[in-house]
Amino acid sequence: MGTGVGRCLTSVLLLGPVTGLIGAEPWQSPHVLTKLWDKQTLASFSVSQLQAFAALACGHCPLLSRAVRCTRRSAPNCPSGPKPPESWKHQAFAYLREEAALSQRQVRAMMRHVWSNYEQRAFGKDELKPISGRGTDSWGGLGQTLVDSLDTLWLMGFHEEFNRAADWVESHLDFNKNLNVNYFETSIRHLGGLVSAFVLSSRPGLLGKATDLAGRLAPIFPSPRSDMSRMDISLSELTSAGKLQEWFDGAKRFLHQVFADIAEEFSFGEYADFDLGNLGLGAEDPSGHFANDDKNARKDLTVLPLSDINLQTGKANDLAGYLSLAETYVPLEWKALALLTSNCSYAVHQDQVLHVLNESTDLESRGYAAILLKKNGYVHGMQDNRISLGSRGDSFYEYLLKDAIFLGAHANPLTRSVWGTFRAKLRHLLVEVDMP
């Protein structure tokens, strides 16, 4: 639910009388909805979806629906009360399927429109200017839009468009440039785009480009610590004895099952039921800044990846004078490449980042870290430094979850531990407010 108003209406729908959702008269909200979905799932529905369910519960048809066959349109109230869910739940599921199919069709139409314009006017350029319709290399001429769109094209079933784009990557994309790039952005867009495109299509040229890029980004990582070898044991086990191929096949089956089996036309109707189904921030010094302990052996060391690197010279730079928490940790793209190439060093570097942050910010017990860091891993003393799940912090916590899911039982134990602590602490950030 995107707005406070939406959340408020959702709560009202579940808990008490509602005015104006069906008509002008107040009526009792259909508590029977909780027999089909738990409150967490209901809270994820949009207001229009809840209105449709409420109409069905009252024996009416939801607005603008062709999937639900009934004769009574929405009435001003629900005089006889909601009907048992057994009598209309199949209609609710049909409504959801219709809505999802319409959304899929619209998204694919939008993607086809955008991509056809990009391919016609700016193919291979970083971006397409929407007003002039001209291409621009605002990211250094690395095919930003094209590479970042590869997996989307494949998942939407645009395989001809994908193949033309992949041909361009294999024959024209060149990372041997005297160009400073941001480590985080290049990892998530170019490295991630190439790795995912290879997993989906099995085109070896894409993996070759990903490996070339990784080699050019790798100098940004500090040398692996002597005590870090233990942290890639699970990954080594996964890449041996055929387990890598098992993971690879499973990943492809999952992606095809969820995304790739989409047709141009959809048939609407009934379908089977399914189940949608004290922060400890750390001490502060007398000036109000986050405490720093630079009286240690790491004071002048670089133990975290810096923000930028030159793709040709391999020289890393700390342009801002500080590092963002969100941009230090990118495990998914690098560990996927480690699995595909059996080069465990890619994974070790990511595990080392988490290990360093845990040592300097006590992540395993606190669950959070400040968003601005020094290159030695300790918290920066800038006045506006803070704990945040927004800008400069968000991706770090997202990647904790992704890393834990990605490798499952083979994930770094520290990853699972920190994620568990984060979840336990998260509820203390949530507040309930009364809205008029």
Give the 3-state secondary structure percentages of the chain, helix then strand then coil, rounded to 5. Answer: 55, 5, 40
Confidence at residue 270, expressed as pLDDT on a 0 to 100 scale: 30
Which tokens is 221 given?
Answer: 């990582």
Name which of 328, 429, 421 is nearest 367 in CA terms: 421
Count CB-CB contacts under 10 A for residue 39: 13
- From CA 118, how far away is CA 128, in angstroms rounded? 6
Which tokens is 422 given?
Answer: 């984060």
**Contact between residue 68 and residue 62 where contact means Cβ atoms under 8 Å apart:** yes
Which tokens is 432 given?
Answer: 């309930």
- From CA 320, how far away is CA 183, in angstroms rounded? 13
Extents of the domains making up the chain: 4-89, 278-429
Q: DSSP readout, 257-284?
A: IIII---SS------------------B
Which tokens is 90 given?
Answer: 């199949």
Count CB-CB contacts under 10 A for residue 434: 5
Place of tokens 């803070």: 386
- From CA 347, how far away is CA 354, in angstroms rounded? 11
Confidence at residue 207, expressed as pLDDT on a 0 to 100 scale: 97
**Contact between residue 291 and residue 282 where contact means Cβ atoms under 8 Å apart:** yes
- From CA 20, how far away is CA 40, in angstroms rounded? 24
**Contact between residue 291 and residue 283 where contact means Cβ atoms under 8 Å apart:** yes
Instruction: Return the SS3 of 426.
Output: helix
Which tokens is 309 given?
Answer: 């690197």
**Contact between residue 362 and residue 282 where contact means Cβ atoms under 8 Å apart:** yes
* Tens digits of pLDDT across the chain (436 residues): 333 333 333 333 343 433 344 443 333 446 777 888 888 888 888 888 888 888 888 878 776 666 665 655 555 566 666 777 778 888 888 888 888 888 899 999 999 999 999 999 999 999 999 999 999 999 999 999 999 999 999 999 999 999 999 999 999 999 999 999 999 999 999 999 999 999 999 999 999 999 999 999 999 998 766 555 444 444 555 554 455 566 566 555 544 444 433 333 333 233 222 222 233 333 333 333 444 444 455 556 778 899 999 999 999 988 878 899 989 999 999 999 999 998 988 989 999 999 999 988 889 998 888 888 888 877 887 777 888 788 888 899 999 999 988 888 888 899 999 999 999 988 877 767 676 6
Name which of 407, 415, 405, 412 is nearest 244 in CA terms: 407
Strands (E), 65-153: 127-128, 135-136
**Contact between residue 146 and residue 126 where contact means Cβ atoms under 8 Å apart:** no
- From CA 185, how far away is CA 188, in angstroms rounded? 5
